[in-house]
């Protein structure tokens, strides 16, 4: 959920969405899973339009909802309608913070901030109790200027920088990552803080995690401790864990808490710009519009990654399609003619030979073979017309049976190097 501000409305207009047709304006509407919504004065929710973003990042209106005429409720009116609830939430959170600070006087109170609205609400609440509480921001090196400027405007902020930047790490590790396989949070958030802070010092960390953010966090209590902290005297406290996202927004407006400018540009999350694998087309279209330089930098990296790591073999997609599926699983179950043709042209292979690089499993263990090198070695030793393919382990066993001496990993690497030097297009 995100409130709709003038900046986002201007973005929609510049993408050919006629906002005046629907009466959209700041102070009344919000966006929830690409559906524009509003309350009436009785507190009923009305859907206005649903937006659609295609693979080319073109925005259109998917659905126009037919509503009977209703008197729309402003954000200020929504706050007034929920005032009693907001006061109770605030009172409970302040009491919780006070309790932990008084009962852990040996620990230094610290607010952990990502630059997002939840962190900002926690910072406001904690400093109502302990004005001197410091803020720690873990610099992922992947945020935008808006976020860095917002963080630097806070009082008493410590920015923790990692030993290595995200793009340098990605280049060194030859790793783009996806929703299943990633390491960025561990390295650039948790890891960096563990490396920098004194492990002998006790800390009381106030954090903005909420129960309704995910299934994983749904069972969190007031206290939370990261297993990666080990036996350090570090304790996490979650003062807003029971709050909903809507309550966070209403409280932020009520208390006039400054927010990250990215929210006003249409983002529902503000961390790790452009390259976070959890973002989708609804975020990418904003990235391309608001942060074109950073967007281009990342997508140039994706182009190089596609070629270097032969992602067409593993995902069954073309290079242009990779830009919309890099963060997920395979794009399709089998390659299209366009995918095979692109692979054929890029590697200078006959189209029939190129087709043999796709969708093979080992004849011994049924393991899917994704490595171009392994597929090439199969065809080098069994011929380009072979229909039987083996994973590296079982191909090496077969090669071992062909040689008097053991066929080792060193022999494999030497053969691959030799074939490449000879100019074999299979590799």
pLDDT for res 178: 84
The whole-number average pLDDT for the span 49-78 is 96
**Bridge partners of residue 72, in order along the sequence:** 40
Which tokens hold the place of 190? 């948790």
- Give the pLDDT confidence of 182-241 residue by residue, as tens digits: 777 778 888 889 999 999 999 999 999 999 998 889 999 999 999 999 999 999 999 999
Question: What is the domain partition of the chain in residue ranges?
Answer: 2-72, 82-264, 279-358, 361-427
Q: pLDDT digit string (tens) for 297-338?
A: 999 999 999 999 999 999 999 999 999 999 987 899 999 999
Record: fold of 82-264: Rossmann fold (3.40.50)
Task: Compute CA distances 31 → 13, 138, 292, 381, whole Å.
Answer: 16, 28, 23, 58
Q: pLDDT tens digit string along 269-282?
A: 998 889 999 899 99
The whole-number average pLDDT for the span 14-40 is: 97
**pLDDT tens, 348-403?**
999 999 999 999 999 999 999 989 999 999 999 999 989 999 999 999 998 888 87
Is-contact 109 133, C-beta < 8 A?
Answer: yes
For residue 58, what is the DSSP state? -
- Write down the residue that tokens 């089998």 correspond to: 334
How far is 142 from 165, CA to CA, in rounded Å? 8
Residue ranges of the alpha helices (H) in 153-291?
166-173, 184-185, 191-196, 245-254, 261-264, 281-290
Q: Are 260 and 117 in contact (CB under 8 A)?
A: yes
Please report the pLDDT score of residue 328 as a whole number.
86
Mean pLDDT of 106-114: 97
3-state secondary structure of 159: strand
> Which helix H or strand E contains 291, and what residues bound it?
none
Higher pLDDT, 413 or 186: 413
pLDDT > 70 fraction of the chain, expressed in percent and rounded: 99
pLDDT at 404: 55
The pLDDT tens digits for 75-100 are 999 999 999 999 999 999 999 999 99
**Stretch 113-117: mean pLDDT:** 96
pTM: 0.88
Pairwise CA distance, residues 387 & 363, whole Å: 10
- Judged by DSSP in three states, 112 sits in strand
* 337 or 175, higher pLDDT: 337
Contacts of 328-333 with C-beta under 8 Å, sequence gap 24+, read: 328/178, 328/179, 329/178, 329/180, 333/359
pLDDT at 124 over 60: yes
Other beta carbons less than 10 A from residue 26's beta carbon = 14
State how far the Cα of 270 lies from the Cα of 321, in Å rounded to an integer: 25
Residue 196 has a CB neighbour count (10 Å cut-off) of: 14
Confidence of residue 175 (pLDDT cuts 50, 70, 90): confident
Spatial CA neighbour of 206 closest among 129, 106, 137, 111? 111
Predicted local distance difference test score (pLDDT) of residue 214: 87
Look at residue 134 and tell me whether its pLDDT is greater than 90. Answer: yes
User: What is the DSSP secondary structure assignment for residue 19, as one 8-state letter?
Assistant: G
3-state secondary structure at position 390:
coil
- Tell me the C-alpha distance between 391 and 370, whole Å: 9
């Amino acid at each position: 959920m995100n409130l709709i501000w003038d900046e986002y409305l201007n973005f929609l207009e510049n993408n050919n969405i006629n906002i005046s047709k629907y009466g959209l304006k700041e102070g009344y509407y919000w966006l929830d899973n690409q559906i524009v919504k509003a309350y009436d004065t009785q507190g009923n929710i009305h859907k206005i339009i649903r937006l659609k973003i295609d693979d080319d990042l073109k925005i259109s209106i998917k659905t126009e909802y037919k509503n009977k005429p209703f008197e729309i409720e402003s954000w200020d009116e929504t706050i007034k309608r929920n005032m009693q609830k907001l006061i109770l939430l605030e009172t409970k959170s302040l009491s919780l913070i006070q309790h932990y600070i008084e009962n852990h006087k040996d620990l230094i109170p610290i607010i952990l901030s990502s630059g997002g609205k939840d962190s900002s609400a926690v910072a406001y609440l904690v400093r109502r109790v302990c004005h001197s509480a410091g803020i720690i921001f873990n610099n992922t090196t992947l945020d935008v200027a808006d976020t860095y400027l917002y963080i630097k405007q806070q009082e008493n902020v410590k920015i923790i920088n990692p030993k290595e930047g995200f793009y340098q790490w990605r280049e060194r590790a030859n790793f783009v990552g996806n929703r299943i396989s990633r390491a960025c949070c561990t390295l650039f958030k948790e890891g960096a803080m563990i490396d920098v802070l004194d492990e002998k010092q006790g800390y009381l960390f106030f954090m903005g995690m909420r129960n309704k953010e995910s299934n994983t966090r749904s069972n969190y209590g007031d206290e939370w401790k990261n297993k990666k902290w080990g036996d350090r005297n570090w304790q996490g406290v979650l003062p807003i864990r029971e709050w909903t996202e809507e309550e966070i927004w209403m409280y932020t407006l009520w208390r006039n808490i400054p927010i990250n400018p990215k929210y006003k540009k249409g983002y529902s999350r503000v961390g790790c710009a452009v390259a976070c694998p959890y973002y989708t087309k609804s975020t990418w279209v904003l990235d391309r519009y608001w942060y074109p330089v950073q967007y281009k930098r990342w997508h140039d990296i994706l182009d190089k990654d596609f070629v270097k790591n032969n992602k067409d073999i593993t995902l069954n997609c073309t290079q242009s399609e990779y830009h919309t599926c890099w963060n997920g699983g395979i794009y399709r179950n089998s390659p299209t003619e366009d995918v095979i043709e692109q692979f054929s042209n890029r590697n200078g292979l006959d189209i029939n030979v190129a087709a043999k690089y796709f969708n093979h499993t080992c004849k011994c263990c049924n393991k899917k073979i994704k490595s171009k090198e392994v597929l090439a070695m199969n065809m080098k030793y069994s011929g380009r017309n072979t229909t039987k393919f083996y994973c590296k382990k079982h191909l090496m066993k077969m090669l071992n049976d062909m040689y008097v001496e053991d066929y080792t990993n060193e022999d494999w690497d030497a053969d691959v190097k030799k074939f490449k030097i000879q100019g074999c297009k299979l590799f």
